[in-house]
Amino acid sequence: MKIIGGPASQALSSRVARELNIEPTVCDFTKFPDGELYSRILDEDVDEVTIIQSTTTDSDLVALLQLIDACEDSPVINVVIPYMGYARQDKKFKSGEPITARAIARTINADRIFTVNIHESSVLNYFNADAFDLDASRLLGYHIRSLNLCNPLIVSPDKGAIALAENTAADVGLEYDYLEKTRHSGDSVTIKAKNVDVMNRDIIIIDDMIATGGTMAESIKLLKSQGAKDVYLACVHPVLARNAVLRLYNAGVKDIIATDTIEKVQSCVSVAPLIANALRSI
Ligand code: R5P
């Protein structure tokens, strides 16, 4: 099998190749003077290929489509999209809107698709191929445990991420909870951990992604005001758009823990073993 890393997933694809004892295929990525992307795979062999490329930006998606097209003679094409952008646009919220996740999924011509903690699993049904979502929570859990925190508690910022909090905590024997919002009147809302007192505990707030940081910044302030010791953030996908990092440090975060589905300085946990295992088992 050949491992082809797209421009957004160069480190991750190299790590996956290393896990599988394969030399990653060298590609050339440049731009034409007008800004259009140019991709070239510098290997003539026709073999089963696995293309690994997150689609954080629209250009990342174009590069992925270019690589898939360049592999047209390969007998089998696996595509790994560690972070799939637009997965939050998984349905029509208002009439006249597209289902952008579906529109994108329909452009991906491959034999198998893998994603990692895709925001909405129903998006997998939009691909014209077998599609599998891999779960990075265990890897995050092992990393969090290795930090030797003070009586750590994993907290989901809302009910939507409870399963992620639970899975992250489960294998490593940590406690988890979620934040619950209670509205007392039109302008009076309290938010607290549903079941557990956070006083003097190190808290890890976990979500599938941190985008603008708004959700997390509110949660950090709140947990601090309730007596939490250090507050860490963990996520699978560190989108960290605009000034999110500054916002989070201003809110008092101790550290941000993320995976390399999006390659950022915060990506201290690699999902390479997860992807390599999935590729070994096909
Ligand atoms: C939403 O459903 C997601 O799970 C995240 O909670 C959300 O995307 C985070 O966005 P932001 O960082 O902009 O608050």
Which of 181, 192, 221, 224 is an active site residue?
A: 181
Domain stops at, among 116, 134, 152: 134
Is 177 part of a structural domain of the chain? yes
Judge if the beta carbon of residue 215 lies within 6 A of ligand 1. Answer: yes
Same domain? 96 vs 149: no
Report whether residue 269 contacts ligand 1, using a CB cutoff of 6 Å. Answer: no
pLDDT tens readout for residues 55-97: 999 999 999 999 999 999 999 999 999 999 999 999 999 999 9
**Catalytic annotation present for 31:** no
Going by alpha carbons, the residue nearest to atom 4 of ligand 1 is 208
Ligand 1 pocket mutation pick from 210, 262, 266 by most atoms within 8 angstroms of CB: 210
Mean pLDDT of the chain: 95
162 Cβ closer than 6 Å to some ligand 1 atom:
no
Beta strands (DSSP E) in the chain are 2-5, 27-31, 37-41, 49-52, 77-81, 112-116, 130-134, 153-156, 175-185, 188-193, 203-210, 231-238, 255-259, 267-269
Residue 180 belongs to a domain? yes
Tens place of pLDDT per residue across the chain (282 aa): 999 999 999 999 999 999 999 999 999 999 999 999 999 999 878 899 999 999 999 999 999 999 999 999 999 999 999 999 999 999 999 999 999 999 999 999 999 999 999 999 999 999 999 999 999 999 999 999 999 999 999 999 989 999 999 999 998 999 999 998 777 777 776 777 888 899 999 999 999 999 999 989 989 998 999 999 999 999 999 999 999 999 999 999 999 999 999 999 999 999 999 999 999 999
Give the residue numbers spanning the domain of 230.
137-269
Domain boundary residue among 118, 134, 150?
A: 134
For residue 96, what are its two tokens? 């006249």
Do 125 and 143 fall within a single domain? Answer: no
Clarify whether residues 123 and 199 are in a common domain. Answer: no
Predicted TM-score (pTM) of this structure? 0.95
Q: Is the CB of 66 under 6 A from ligand 1?
A: no
> How far apart are the C-alpha atoms of 134 and 117, rounded to whole Å?
6
Measured distance CA(193)–CA(223) in Å, rounded:
8
User: 96: domain CATH number?
Assistant: 3.40.50.2020
How many domains does the structure of the chain reveal?
2
Q: Which of 155, 178, 161 is nearest to 231 (CA)?
A: 155
